[in-house]
Chain A
Amino acid sequence: MISLGQDEIAKYPFLAEAGQYLKDKGFTLEQFATDPDLKIIVDKAYERIESAAEGKIYNPKADNSSEKDTVLPLNVFSFLIAIVLLKLSGLNTLINRFSLAEARRAEKFLERDLVSNSNKTSEEFAIKIFRDVFSVTIKKAGDYFVIPISDYLQHAVNFHELEWKLVNRHVENGMVFLSTHESARLIRKELGGYISSRIRAANTPSMSKGFEDKVNKLSELAKKFVVNTIVSTEYPPCIKHAIEELNSGENLPHFGRFMLATFLLGRGQTIEEIVPLFKNAPDWNEKVTRYQIKQISGETGSNTKYSCPSCDKIESHDMCFATPDCDNIINPMQFGKKRL
């Protein structure tokens, strides 16, 4: 664990050992549930979750206090109590939204710290977070940060935008060059993942009277985020193309066959319904086809049920025939899915 100063713990509260922090400051959880003077922190914690749920980044400057010594611990407490409330509510949607918003908040600080020329400690601390928490070695090189290609790739694959592809990056001698903003952005998803994994790993305290009201309000809040979707029966263009190729007796490559089978299995078709689609293939063999689809479905073999490859992967096999109807989906399974 990284050792943290007062400033750092306020910026990156998820790095703190929650129980230890409260203890060091001379508080118990029980006090927050009962002491009327501390109710303001519980309120703040709720607000923090609420703004996260709405996709906003919690901005503690909104409260008018300018006293560093009170504001900083207040921010840490509100974070820790927010986690207690989330654990008590057990609502995964809220935990996910909270983690993402906190990640974006921390990302802003990281970005600022990476270029804080006046403050070498902040810069070193930010670089240390990259290294110790996310195993990314970044180094400053002029106006840029450089990171080894293999480290870069492990994070960049989380992005679907073309600009993150290695081919669209400045690459030299095994290193990728990134701006400060891009360096911080690169680990946003992992920051979110890290925060949510820490929340999930934390113990759930027993319910106290003082928290009940807020936890009930969270359940109400979560209801807003239940999404109902409808899926049209239309096939995406890549799947249509694969079916046409097969029907016309063309030799659809292995990947195309895999894509088609996984897609149709994913849409709930049975092996018996899928097998005949392949009968015009030049190398048609019913036994082999049935065997392979069974393997893909997980019915035989290692029992792994394969899922439909991503649009990215399909494109790299030259089998993407995207139309406007695809609407920026990242997997053919999402085609035609609409929120109600």
Chain B
Amino acid sequence: MLENDLKFLEETFKQYYFDHFDFIHIPDRSLEREYGYKKFNSGMVRHISLKTDKDLHLMLMTNVPSDVFCSNAYYTFPNLPMAEKDWKEADLIFDIDAKDLNLSCRKDHTCVKCLSCGEVSLLHDTCPKCKSNKLDLLSLTCDNCISGVKKEVLNLIKILTNDLQIDDKNVRTSFSGNEGFHLYVANSSYNQLGSKERGDLIDYIMFRRVMPERFGFKKENPSRHTFPELDEAGWRGRVAKELFGSKSKRSKAITKIISDGKLAYQQILEGIGKNSIGIKIDPNVTVDIHRIFRLEGSLNSKSGLAKLACENIEKFNPYTETCLIDDSSVEVSANFPIEFRLKNTKFGPYTNEKVSVPKYAAAYMLCKGIASLA
């Protein structure tokens, strides 16, 4: 990132934090948690311990981080190196990101940035300017992706509260600040689980590694009555709804499943797990019991949008509600071939042009790497 752009983003982020101290707080049991932050153009600083909101705000003002994180784990000594921290337990965390949904709209709001010459262009395998194949994918705002992720979040909450019997009062949903949502489950009976056990929980939630026998196809002499009914609890019920649709279609569908054989049924189950009923969480996040997770109220340096909790996810509009940088006018030179929308305003496409845009849009473009200060 260019020196001027970097300075601008640091000043903008600092101003945001100064104006919004009321949005950004230390979580419960702060003294048992590890904090960390990243600065623009630099690596991660972690193993920090903070006691009060004031300590946190001081850290934001003195270091002007690009991203701020806090552990979901609780330790006896959070500021010591990993091996000496003495892990106690970790809250369950989930990340659902639009990129993992592979929706068909994806190609319409994604462009590529060449890592060799910096050119931003429509989706290609090689850079149209210098032919390099070292490209970065850049995805811009998309309402369809956000509604897709919201659906996944609601389905995940159903599994957490029904199957896993987690109290919905303990589930906190927030927009991640880029193109996904985070779920944070505090104080559940799953807090003691290590990463191997969480791995099994992830396969459950994602509906992976399923056996056809469990879903009705017995090894020998498959019989109709072992297949799931629509009103059953858990995955059997969800599979029945997905495969049969209604009670009246069940019998016919089972006849076909039995005649196609067990292997075909296994492939069907794997297919619906991957493409429809399995919840598309990022397994790397949930499995990690030493992770530092983006702190609520902080800005995301991939976009300049804030990570904020949403009370009513269905009504929540992240591209207006988390766009909290001010709207004073900034001149940028922009070059990208597709549009994006923030606060109900359309920006782009731009072809190497100098434009005056509100500061929040300038920050978004600089964070995405599709514009520079003019």
Contact = CB atoms under 8 A, between A and B. Distances in A.
Interface of A: 148-150, 153-154, 156-157, 162-163, 165-175, 249, 254-255, 282-283, 302-304, 312-313, 315-317
Contacts of B199: 157, 312-313, 316
Contacts of B193: 150, 153-154
B289 to A, nearest CB: 13
Contacts of A172: 163, 233-234
Contacts of B211: 162-163, 168
Given A149-B190, A173-B165, 6 more contacts: A157-B196, A157-B197, A163-B211, A165-B209, A168-B214, A173-B233
B204 interface: yes
A174 B204 contact: no
Of A162, A170, A173, A174, chain B has the most CB atoms within 10 Å of the CB of: A174
A171 B201 CA distance: 12
A171 B204 contact: yes
B165 A174 contact: yes
A40 B16 CA distance: 84
B135 A167 contact: no
Nearest to A303: B83
A154 B83 CA distance: 22
Contact of B82 (A150, A254, A302, A317): A302
Nearest to B83: A302
A175 B189 CA distance: 12
Interface in B170-210: 189-190, 192-193, 196-197, 199-204, 207-210
Contact of A157 (B200, B207, B209): B200
Q: Across chains A and B, which 6 residue pairs bring their CB atoms closest together, nearest first?
A: A174-B165, A153-B197, A168-B214, A166-B204, A302-B83, A167-B204
Contacts of B284: 254-255, 317
B164 interface: yes
A148 B192 CA distance: 13
B51 interface: no
B340 interface: no
Of B115, B197, B283, chain A has the most CB atoms within 10 Å of the CB of: B197
Interface in B57-90: 81-83
Of A156, A162, A254, chain B has the most CB atoms within 10 Å of the CB of: A162
Contacts of B82: 302, 304
B210 A171 contact: no
A249 B355 CA distance: 37
Contacts of B251: none
Interface of B: 81-83, 115, 133-135, 162-166, 189-190, 192-193, 196-197, 199-204, 207-211, 213-214, 233-236, 283-284
A301 B163 CA distance: 40
Contact of A282 (B83, B115, B164): B115
Nearest to A149: B164
Given A166-B200, A174-B189, A249-B133, A302 B164 contact: no
Contacts of A313: 199
A216 to B, nearest CB: 42
A45 B162 CA distance: 52
Nearest to B215: A168
A162 B164 contact: no
Nearest to B233: A172
A304 B82 CA distance: 10
A321 to B, nearest CB: 15
B286 to A, nearest CB: 11
A312 B200 CA distance: 10
A315 B283 CA distance: 12
A137 to B, nearest CB: 11
A167 B81 contact: no
B196 A304 contact: no
Contacts of B283: 316-317
B202 A316 contact: yes
Contacts of A249: 133-134
B201 A166 contact: yes
Given A157-B200, A166-B200, A173-B165, A150 B214 contact: no
Nearest to B236: A170
A246 to B, nearest CB: 14
Nearest to A312: B199
A142 to B, nearest CB: 15
Given A165-B203, A166-B204, A171 B234 contact: yes
Of A163, A166, A170, A302, chain B has the most CB atoms within 10 Å of the CB of: A166
Nearest to A304: B83
A283 B202 CA distance: 29
Contacts of B196: 157
A315 B209 contact: yes
B27 to A, nearest CB: 22
B189 A282 contact: no
Contacts of B214: 163, 167-169
A166 B83 CA distance: 30
Contacts of B165: 149, 173-175
Nearest to B278: A167
Contacts of B203: 165-167, 316
Given A165-B203, A282-B134, A303-B83, A316 B189 contact: no
Nearest to A317: B283
Nearest to B198: A153
A304 B81 CA distance: 11
18 contacts: A150-B189, A165-B200, A166-B200, A167-B204, A167-B207, A167-B214, A168-B209, A168-B214, A170-B234, A171-B233, A171-B235, A172-B233, A173-B163, A282-B115, A303-B83, A304-B82, A316-B199, A317-B284
